[in-house]
Structure 1
Amino acid sequence: MSGRSGMDASPRSVIVVGAGIVGLSTAWFLQEHGVEVTVLDRAGVAAGASWGNAGWVSPALTAPLNSPSMLREGVRALANPAAPLHIPLRADARLAQFLLRFAANCRSTAWQRAVRANAVLNDEAIETFDVLVTNGVDAPVTDTSVAVAFRDSAHAHGFLTELSHLSASGQHVHAEILTGTTLHEQVPLASPRVTTVVDVSGQRFVDPGRFTHALATAVTERGAALRTGEVCRTSKSGDGVVVGLRAGEPLHADAVVLATGAWLPALTGRRVRVRLQAGRGYSFTVPVDRPLPGPIYLPEVRVACTPYRGGLRVAGTMEFRHPAEPLDSRRIEAIVASAAPLLDGVRWSDRTDLWVGPRPVTDDGMPLIGRLAAGVYVAGGHGMWGLAHGPATGRLLAEQIVTGKQPEAVRPFDPLRGRATGSEPLTLPL
């Protein structure tokens, strides 16, 4: 890349490392500011969590993970290998440090702080998807309501109470209780064990792999270079940055954005104090006997189901393992065993597209968005909500990169939060 403008001026060239929804959204919005972009990924477009997730753009349901209930669930999960939250019992110092920090942040005050901070991403989620589609991203975004299904009404009303906390943060949420005939008309796959549904309107869903590939196509058609390569370091060089590759010549630009999801710690080093861990999710596709009008969420077993290519994409599990470990078929079986009693007309044995992917989870329930060092920016750590929050993240970060000013709304997501600002390292190694 050429045409560098200097570290103190608006950058004219940026390398975005990561071709998932977050990285590609950042690239697209940088292009809106006239920035020359190269997108670099070690495995290609949508190779991680951007392909296999449930595809929800659901601001009303994007609650931070670090809730007091999650801490209680984690303790119970230690004794139940089939639990939706899976923590392997083995020696792993890095995981232990993350879990201790995460547990410390599973307080009501910390959770409410994360809710308030994430509200800006929720507020912009649907609008930024509209911006992308209106301006050439050729993939459908479907308006929908999400049917949140419960075995009993007490749990349903408890869920409504949780939604009220989001409303208190300024986010508009419209939900209604469905029972009896209305329930089964709205959710034709619900089994007799489902007695109550909370219908949350005003949401969206997409085919996540299709949307991310369409976004990549739009970015390249607007002039970006899309390259494959594994980054091993970034370093300052004169008035720009150098991105070193494991194989091939290094790349030069005015700035670099690190948007590598669960692999972020390998490139950010010790500069970031917020712990980030891969919370791996599983999904698969199954045929259904009756078409489903919209997504179903089964919160008691933490399983999300979405209409997908004539069938149903089923997604679940939060598994704290290294992102590169292979798929564990026992996790798929656990999802089936927990969801099957609640859904009828699903051919569970005919499942295809078995997938596992790492979702980047931070210990305080807030993503990492902003400046890490001179010319180096970070975008990641969205947990389960990277798809929903990716375009909004890209727009906010692009504004910061181009103007040199941190938007007030992004301040809680500062990757350097929790530490005093000191001298900046010249190199961020793998």
Structure 2
Amino acid sequence: MKKNIDTIIIGGGIVGLSCAYYLQKEGVEVAIIEKGAPKDACSHANCGLVSPSHALPLNSPELMMKAMKWLFQSDSPFYIRPQLDANFISWMLGFGLNARADKVQKAMEGRNNLMLSSKALFKDIIKEENIDCNWSDEGIMFAFESEKAFDKHAAINRRLTDLDMQLMADPMVGDALYQKEPALSENVHGGWWYRFDASIKPDLMVAGLKKTLKQKGVQFFEETEVVGFESANYQITGINTNRGDFKAKNIVLATGAWSPKVVDDLDLKIPIVPGKGYSITMKSPGFSPKMPCIMEEKKVVATPWNGSYRLGGTMEFAGYNTELNKVRFNALKKAANIYLRDPYTDDVLEHWYGWRPMTNNGLPIIDHAPKYRNMLMACGHNMLGLSMGPATGKLVSEILTAKETHIDPSYYALRGNFN
């Protein structure tokens, strides 16, 4: 066994790094075990949105009505590949049950708490640690091709505003829209500008935070895959990996979509399935957007940074499928062709996919594992791991050090919240 480290975090994405950041601030000895390279994590090439505007979960009635039209279209924003998988079928049943109004409201509240906290914490971390990550407070533009869809979004905006006035968007059409975002094409009828949202270049943030943690003494065990656990008396007594065994007082599971597989031999049922997303990163087009633009009817995002540009989106439920699906990449470009004057360049830097850790109610799980008192789960952040990362890390630190929590942890408890 390697030395008995106080806390081992399994997973080196934005959630795991955030947990390490706040734990080391409390004087806790921390190590991070990473399975693969940073590019394999969802934190690497997502669209970099820090977006409290996304408080409404995917299984809200408004979004489910759209999704039903897309389910089995291979190039649609929301696609389910036919599969006979008992866990996925059970997850889908829970997904439907969690579309009840009271469940959706609870999910909105829990998501909002994490995202509002994370936005403030991001700004603190970036300033305190001097991390250059293309942070932008320009907001996010939700663009609509059709007048009907633009008008219908008013109801969603009212729901968000009722939840928190900070989430209120400004509707824009005509000259007002094109002055705010000149990169939008004439096909766009209108947009809702969520001024409170922000954006970041995720790989730069991850690299900067990782460098900071190493300087502060956090240990990293890279290319280290967990292959099993040892347990006794309701405790995890050892972590078995392909590079030796570890012992720790506390273990944080921050392995995203892989979480159910990582703990498979512990007989833990974690209600997470992988939702595959795609992105194309390229050099910036000549007429790049000023801020991230969400092409709302197609669920595609265009995010600009200094010298680079990313198109990303779609949701594909196909299990742990590793195929680089050209149909999905083409769907990103087709959407950009509709909404943007200068939609993309041929100077592509990376084609990428990642598995989002999808729960069936839209909330992450931040809770002690059943049966194992020294394992804390911090996983299932859906499409919002970046937007929720810092607040999750701070909450995990508060739970493990028995401090008063800065947000209500009951929203993220495994028991009672997930069907």
Q: What TM-score do you get using the length of structure 1 for normalisation?
A: 0.89
Q: Indicate if the aligned counterparts of 1:101 and 1:275 stay in contact, CA closer than 8 A.
A: no
1:22 and 1:254, CA in 2 relative to 1: closer, same or farther beyond 3 A?
Answer: same
Deviations 1:63-119 (A, max 9, x none): 211211333333322342211001002333322222222122223322111001222
Name the CA distance, whole Å, in 2 between partners of 1:222 and 1:68. 46
1:125 and 1:157, CA in 2 relative to 1: closer, same or farther beyond 3 A?
Answer: farther
Q: Look up the equivalent residue of 1:16 and give its one-letter code.
A: I
Deviations 1:1-51 (A, max 9, x none): 9996xxxxxxx7100000000000000000011000001111033531101
Q: Indicate if the aligned counterparts of 1:272 and 1:416 stay in contact, CA closer than 8 A.
A: no
Name the CA distance, whole Å, in 1 between partners of 2:69 and 2:396. 38
Name the CA distance, whole Å, in 2 between partners of 1:27 and 1:171. 32
2:92 paired residue number: 99
2:332 paired residue number: 335
1:154 and 1:84, CA in 2 relative to 1: closer, same or farther beyond 3 A?
Answer: same
1:175 paired residue number: 169
Coordinate RMSD, CA, aligned: 2.4
Q: What secondary structure, in the 3-state scheme, does the structure 2 residue paired with 1:94 have?
A: helix
Name the CA distance, whole Å, in 1 between partners of 2:332 and 2:33. 34
Q: Indicate if the aligned counterparts of 1:17 and 1:39 stay in contact, CA closer than 8 A.
A: yes
1:75 paired residue number: 68
Would you say 1:310 and 2:307 are equivalent positions? yes
Q: Indicate if the aligned counterparts of 1:123 and 1:171 stay in contact, CA closer than 8 A.
A: no
What is the CA distance between 1:240 and its match in structure 2? 7.0
Name the CA distance, whole Å, in 1 between partners of 2:15 and 2:406. 18
Between 406-415 and 79-88, the greater mean CA deviation after superposition: 406-415
Listed as ranges, the matches of 1:23-422 within 5 Å are 23-45=16-38, 47-136=40-129, 138-140=131-133, 141-170=135-164, 172-228=166-222, 229-236=224-231, 241-269=236-264, 275-286=271-282, 287-323=284-320, 325-372=322-369, 373-403=372-402, 409-417=408-416
Q: What TM-score do you get using the length of structure 2 for normalisation?
A: 0.91
Q: Which runs of 5+ in 1 are unaligned?
A: 5-11, 420-430
What is the CA distance between 1:188 and its match in structure 2? 1.9
Name the CA distance, whole Å, in 2 between partners of 1:305 and 1:398. 34
Q: Indicate if the aligned counterparts of 2:70 and 2:76 stay in contact, CA closer than 8 A.
A: yes
Q: What secondary structure, in the 3-state scheme, does the structure 2 residue paired with 1:282 have?
A: strand
1:423 paired residue number: none
Q: Indicate if the aligned counterparts of 1:15 and 1:257 stay in contact, CA closer than 8 A.
A: yes
What is the CA distance between 1:136 and its match in structure 2? 1.0
Q: Between Structure 1 and Structure 2, how many residues are aligned?
A: 412
Q: Indicate if the aligned counterparts of 1:20 and 1:47 stay in contact, CA closer than 8 A.
A: no
Name the CA distance, whole Å, in 2 between partners of 1:212 and 1:319. 25
Q: What secondary structure, in the 3-state scheme, does the structure 1 residue paired with 2:399 have?
A: helix
Q: Which runs of 5+ in 2 are unaligned?
A: none
What is the CA distance between 1:345 and its match in structure 2? 1.4
Query: Percent of pairs identical after alignment?
Result: 26
Name the CA distance, whole Å, in 2 between partners of 1:210 and 1:43. 18
Name the CA distance, whole Å, in 1 between partners of 2:90 and 2:110. 24
